[in-house]
Amino acid sequence: MSDSKLNENGEKNSKIIEMTCIVCPIGCHLKVKVDEDGKFLSVTGNRCPRGAEYAKQEVTDPRRVLPTSVRVKNGELPLVSVRTESAIPKRLIFEAMKVVKSIEVEAPVKRGQVIVENLLDTGVNLIATRTVKKLT
Ligand code: SF4
């Protein structure tokens, strides 16, 4: 049973979080209503249902695509740019960066090549976003 206090209208206290939807370039300004425990209640300002999904996820389990770079051994460049194939939980970004900093891949590296499979058990691969040839 919740020990939440009710306001004078007999409703749970709530607050509005403002954010910009980043799902598409329109960038709708969202007002997300959450209860005092941070639970999603409702959203306004979204022009489409994807905005509602984004708002819900953003307050419960925010996710981001991680773009970074990995060291390359024997390559024409010392680093290769990489990113996660899709968004991973924001709370894992710090741990993910530790993994990224600890690895080095052998050249050649092909664009789209999987650098780390199933990064931190997220089910998401880390992939190269450019090609780095072997040093000749
Ligand atoms: S709510 Fe829909 S239209 Fe608005 S930015 Fe998000 S995805 Fe685009």
CATH class of segment(s) 67-128: alpha beta
Nearest protein CA to atom 4 of ligand 1, as residue: 28
> Which helix (DSSP H) or strand (DSSP E) does residue 68 occupy?
strand 67-73
C-alpha 77/C-alpha 129 separation (Å) is 14
Give the atom of ligand 1 at the shortest distance from the alpha carbon of 27: 5
- Spans of all domains in the chain: 14-60, 67-128
Per residue in 51-71, pLDDT (tens digit) is 999 999 999 999 999 999 999
C-alpha 111/C-alpha 130 separation (Å) is 4
Handedness of CA 127, 51, 122, 67 (dihedral sign): positive
- The residue with tokens 């993994």 is 99
Per residue in 80-96, pLDDT (tens digit) is 999 999 999 999 999 99
CATH topology of domain 14-60: N-terminal domain of TfIIb (2.20.25)
C-alpha 74/C-alpha 49 separation (Å) is 48
Q: pLDDT at residue 77 above 50?
A: yes
Pocket test for ligand 1, best of 20, 32, 44, 47 (most atoms within 8 A of CB): 47
C-alpha closest to that of 70 among 56, 53, 82, 52: 82
DSSP at 5: P
pTM of the model: 0.78
pLDDT (0 to 100) of residue 5: 64
